[in-house]
Amino acid sequence: MKRLALLVVASAVILIGELFGARAIAHDMEGMDMSNDSGASDTGATAGMGKHMDMGPHMTMTAMRAATPADTARAEEIMQTMRAALAKYEDYKIAEADGYLPYMESVPQDVYHFTGKTQSQAEYLGDIDLKHPGSLLYEKKTFGGYKLVGAMYSAPASYTPAQLDAIIPLGLTRWHAHTNICLPPGITEDDVMTGHIMPRLNAAEVGAGRHTDPRVGYFADQRFGFMGTISDASECAAVGGNFHPQIFGWMVHVYPFAGTDDLKVAFGMDAP
């Protein structure tokens, strides 16, 4: 159960960006460049800050496929189900009262994830319920508060394309996974899952004047993390890092509250 508890924030942890460098991300990398249709990891260079990013070898996606009439019918049903079940969360205070809590609220993001502990645990056990997503997705309003735009669902890393398709049609969207991750010395997979990005300082380091400014978190070193330059196990080992072929399970965003019935928007990779 400890492992499951750590997975509670897995559905939101990739919100963390390389906040103070030239590269940045906003959870599970909103609006990736989808030019690679192979279903394997994208291979282009990072596009920089913004909603349109090519995650290179760190992002693996399900293969694109043409939408069938059955896919379209299911997508419309999914939209209706989500709108009916989640409309109450347009008031984010109700979401918080129901246990959906904002993750890293102080970090600037395109979309903020309000994550539910119980729902996330269920998803990582394979119990995915469209009416009870692991995370609700909000945009921050200019003058305070949040606007509900959608939800994120997760699934076990072991799930096959057929199993993912049974949840959200692959003809409408592409599920994605975070792969080939090199974490720096002193940072574990559990640290990532709990949102811990700071170095663990010992007494000598504190006495030497080191501090806990967020800029010294591991995302500040562009070699490491979900947009790092290192994506190979041997290269990671050479710098004392710890390599992970995949961190977290499969993830997908759906935006039924984007203000349109356009399925390309609702099931698109770009935040509305």
Whether the CB-CB separation of 266 and 79 falls below 8 Å is answered with: yes
Partnered with residue 139 across adjacent β-strands are 147
pLDDT of residue 272: 73
Low-confidence ranges of the chain (pLDDT < 50): 2, 4-54, 201-202, 206, 210-216
pLDDT at 237: 95
Enter the tokens of residue 257: 């509250």
What is the dihedral angle through the alpha carbons of 51, 12, 97, 147, rounded to the nearest 10 degrees?
0
Q: What is the pLDDT of residue 63?
A: 92
Residue type, 181: I
What pLDDT was estimated at residue 185? Answer: 85
Q: What is the pLDDT of residue 153?
A: 97
User: Residue 78 CA to chain centroid, in angstroms?
Assistant: 20
For residue 244, the model assigns a pLDDT of: 93
DSSP code for 48: -
CA 269/CA 51 separation, integer angstroms: 9
Nearest residue to 212 (alpha-carbon basis) of 202, 199, 223 = 199
- Nearest CA-CA partner of 55 in 82, 26, 98: 26
The pLDDT of residue 64: 87
- Six token digits for residue 175: 């599920």
- To the nearest 10°, report the CA torsion of 272, 54, 254, 27: -90
Residue 233: the pLDDT is: 96
pLDDT at position 55, please?
57
Q: What is the pLDDT at residue 19?
A: 31
